[in-house]
Amino acid sequence: MRDVAVVGFAQRQMPEFDGSPTCVELLVPVFKELYEQTGWTRKDVGFWCSGSSDYLAGRSFSFVQAVDAIGVIPPVNESHVEMDLAWAMYEAWLKIQTGEVDTALVYAFGKSSAGVLRRTLALQLEPYTMTPLWPDTVSLAGLQARAGIDAGAWDERAMAEVANRSLTDAEKNEHAIRKGGSSVEELLARPMYADPLRKHDCSPVTDGVAALVLAAGDKAREVRERPAWLTGISHSIDPMGMGVRDLTRAPSAQRAGAALDLGGVEVAELHAPFSHQELILRRELGLGDDVVINPSGGALASNPMFSGGGIRVGEAAQRVWSGEADKTLAHATSGPALQQNLVCTLAASTEGNQN
């Protein structure tokens, strides 16, 4: 298999974007930033892949419009997934593995604030017995949180600890839209929202875009002294029904993690849109107390739909580029209550590349 690294990352996040759902206005400066990071022009990018959904903001073919931000004369090699940026990255990684291209730029965009995000996401549920009830994202997460509390797998204090650490770490992240930790006691004193969830247990509705650059072998080494090599990448999915799996677990996250060598991971960026989901993921991935979790503040600090998972990859890659860590882990999720999970490892060395 070819050695492939993450060598570029840029993002824009905000509570409400006052502009078109195509987000071209945000993508143009993000691409410019990536051309500066890599020293490339758009003609050096072998493959493009985007992640988005028209349902989010009600604009048809928004991903076709978004291609304007690339500029497509001469034509570009381009694809799209109705999934998070992390899965767009997976497609690009596969494309590079085929040998057809050596480089890729993957991007995602979403204007969640245009509609009612937690309601819109009911459209990804089973269409006969779930969607007609419009079970919103927060309610489905609340059912999961309660199941774990009742089973003794976690408690409200453990959830508040996750939120407090995330909001404290987010103070150092200029892109976070919710930040400022206080104390576990203070968080627990706040009122319930969707009992058993308080508002700080739920990621904020976020608009934004993000993009990653991938490159193989020497192409990656030309861009960065310490490329973040994708030494392992795996994803898996659980059944959609809320009744047919143990909600206190995420078997697909466990399976994705078990396919990789997670030994030596120093930092893990976990895509947990609800506080208790971080606790599930740490258990399923077997991450010990010595692993630094979500130094960016994670999804509780900002979670732009379609970028939130890929941003975890970018944050984990940055820690490798900077020399802060030799091996990091990134995780992305999709679907209700951690239904689908992607895990990858990023390392300063290509040794032990499992791909």
Coil/strand/helix, residue 348: coil
Q: Please, which residues have CB within 8 angstroms of residue 140's CB and are 6 or more apart in sequence?
A: 242, 336, 337
Q: Which residues contact 207 (CB under 8 A, 6 or more apart)?
A: 13, 14, 15, 16, 17, 110, 111, 112, 113, 304
Structural contact between residues 230 and 350, judged by C-beta atoms closer than 8 angstroms = no
Tallying the residues shown for the chain, one arrives at 355
Q: Which residue is it, tokens 């002294």?
A: 225
Closest contact distance (angstroms) between CB of 115 and another protein is: 5
Site string for another protein, 103-122 (x = CB under 8 A): --------x-xxxx-xxx--
Q: Which is nearer to another protein, 116 or 264 (CB)?
A: 116
- Please list every residue from 120 through 159 that binds another protein, using CB under 8 A: 120, 123, 127-136, 138-147, 150
In 3D space, the residue among 341, 350, 338, 311 whose CA is nearest the CA of residue 140 turns out to be 338
Q: Which of residues 255-284 bind another protein (CB under 8 A)?
A: none
190 binds another protein (CB under 8 A): no
Among 21, 181, 304, 309, binds another protein (CB under 8 A): 21
Q: Could you say whether residue 311 binds another protein (CB under 8 A)?
A: no
Minimum separation from the CB atom of position 168 to another protein (A) = 27
> Is residue 295 at the binding interface for another protein, with CB under 8 A as the rule?
no
Instruction: Give the closest residue to 310 by CA, choosing from 233, 212, 228, 231.
Output: 212
Q: 196 to 255, contacts with another protein by CB under 8 A?
A: 196-197, 239, 241-244, 247
Residue 33 touching another protein (CB under 8 A): no
Rounded to whole angstroms, the Cα distance separating 277 from 69 reads 35
Cβ count within 10 A of residue 151: 12
Looking at 170-178, 192-200, 250-258, 273-281, which segment touches another protein (CB under 8 A)? 192-200
Shortest gap between Cβ of 293 and another protein (angstroms)?
Answer: 25
Q: Which is nearer to another protein, 245 or 283 (CB)?
A: 245
Which residues contact another protein (rule: CB under 8 A)?
18-22, 24-25, 28, 31, 42, 55, 57-59, 65, 67-73, 111, 113-116, 118-120, 123, 127-136, 138-147, 150, 192-197, 239, 241-244, 247
